[in-house]
Amino acid sequence: MKTLQLTFLMFIQLCLVASYAQSDKTIVEDFKPSSLNQPGQEYPQVNSQGYARFRIYAPEAKSVKVTLGGREGTILTKSDDGFWTGTTSEPLDEGFHYYHLIVDGGVFNDPGTLNFYGSIRWESGIEVPAKDQDFYALKDVPHGRVVQVLFPSKSTNSIRRAFVYLPPDYEKDINKRYPVLYLQHGWGEDETAWTNQGRAHLIMDNLIAEGKAKPFIIVMTYGMTNEIKFGELRKFDIKPFQTVLVDELIPYIDNNFRTIPDQKNRAMAGLSMGSMETKMITLANTDKFSYIGLFSGASLSMDDVNKIPGFKDKVKLVFVSYGSKEIDWMVQRGREFTGGDPRENVEALKKAGINSVLYISPNTAHEFLSWRRSLREFAPMLFKD
């Protein structure tokens, strides 16, 4: 448990440190509004190098700071017109970033942006265009649907929410049934993360349109059933969420959507804490899941595998991914990965005849572009055996 806690702290440090590409470049003045701004809002803006610029109206304030752009964030300066402006001192990594403002010591969101649930609050968000962003763009292809379902949960004495992605054509052939991927968010996030931040539905629409992925259903629910606070990881217990997922949600989905309800047609994946939940739940339920996706968190060692008789026959894929900066950070500091070096673990599984894949997202850290890319790599590997 102590090593689990260390790993999480490392991840948070990675979030703070590794998200900023170092640069001595001159700032190119081609700033454009972030695609995640509220309708009609010009700021914040991002330029072609990944610098972000902010503009906040608070004419009587004493200080306004943005929690992006280096260890101290970006301190804004006030003009006579009452607007506070500033630009990050370094470019941000490509992709999505959470942030908020500190206005006179209080935490507030940037009124220019939409809101995204992470770090257990609805945060502001900014998007830095990526060279490969086409794979998660809203394109003129057939679109699937994202369905909000409310399902009963006896174990938590509540009605819980899940979002279900149905592939394009789900409504067309009413006799066709589909495999299912259960996809989990990270600590501090919720069931909106994989669509709002992750764009999973658009990634799938595009993969299916290109014939790269077999159409399947994705189920995204809230995984922080055991609502631990950061720093209290020794209290983490997988049982409450495992009960919700395996005993309540899977039967609900199988009863209410046209699924192929067997082990061969069920996958689970997750990011960060979601990958740890995925590892724990799939290893305890190899009769229910045949594909395992672990994004920026856990990996499986031969010790894990050897505890499960017939693992090689039951499990068709162990997919492990990280942002390149996550690996670099650990290596540069000589740190040990919890549960073993994932690169060595994947190789060991391969040698033992298990289909294991390691994907490293270039130039990203513990952040959503790593996970969008992970889904892009993982999805085409599913349900084709």
- Judged by beta carbon, residue 152 or residue 362, the one nearer its own copies is 152
- Judged by beta carbon, residue 187 or residue 311, the one nearer its own copies is 187
- Judged by beta carbon, residue 43 or residue 51, the one nearer its own copies is 43
Instruction: Select from 157, 207, 155 the least CA-distant residue to 181.
Output: 207
Q: By the 8 A CB rule, do 281 and 183 touch?
A: no
Instruction: Please state the closest distance from residue 139 (CB atom) to its own copies, in A.
Output: 8
- Judged by beta carbon, residue 1 or residue 159, the one nearer its own copies is 159
As beta bridge partners, residue 151 has 160
- Judged by beta carbon, residue 48 or residue 79, the one nearer its own copies is 79
* Element containing residue 78 per DSSP (H, E): strand 77-78
Distances (CA, A) of 332 to 155, 289, 329: 44, 36, 5
Q: Which residues bind its own copies (CB under 8 A)?
A: 38-40, 56-63, 82, 101, 103-109, 111, 114-115, 120-122, 138, 140, 143, 145-150, 152, 159, 171, 174, 256-258
Instruction: Please state the closest distance from residue 65 (CB atom) to its own copies, in A.
Output: 11
Instruction: Select from 289, 288, 255 the least CA-distant residue to 269.
Output: 289
- Judged by beta carbon, residue 62 or residue 307, the one nearer its own copies is 62
Instruction: Please state the closest distance from residue 57 (CB atom) to its own copies, in A.
Output: 5
Residue 118 CA to residue 248 CA, distance in Å, equals 25
Residue 365 CA to residue 93 CA, distance in Å, equals 8
Backbone angles phi, psi at 368, to 5 degrees: -65, -25
Q: What is the CA radius of gyration of the chain?
A: 21
Checking phi first, is residue 199 left (phi over 0); if not, alpha (psi -120 to 50) or beta? left
Q: What are the tokens at 149?
A: 């379902």
Residue 1 CA to residue 41 CA, distance in Å, equals 45
Cβ neighbours of residue 373 closer than 8 Å, sequence gap 6 or more: 132, 135, 321, 359, 361, 364
- Judged by beta carbon, residue 76 or residue 360, the one nearer its own copies is 76
Instruction: Please state the closest distance from residue 236 (CB atom) to its own copies, in A.
Output: 18
Instruction: Please state the closest distance from residue 100 (CB atom) to its own copies, in A.
Output: 8
Question: Which three-class secondary structure state does DSSP give residue 358?
Answer: strand
Instruction: Please state the closest distance from residue 291 (CB atom) to its own copies, in A.
Output: 25
Instruction: Please state the closest distance from residue 101 (CB atom) to its own copies, in A.
Output: 8
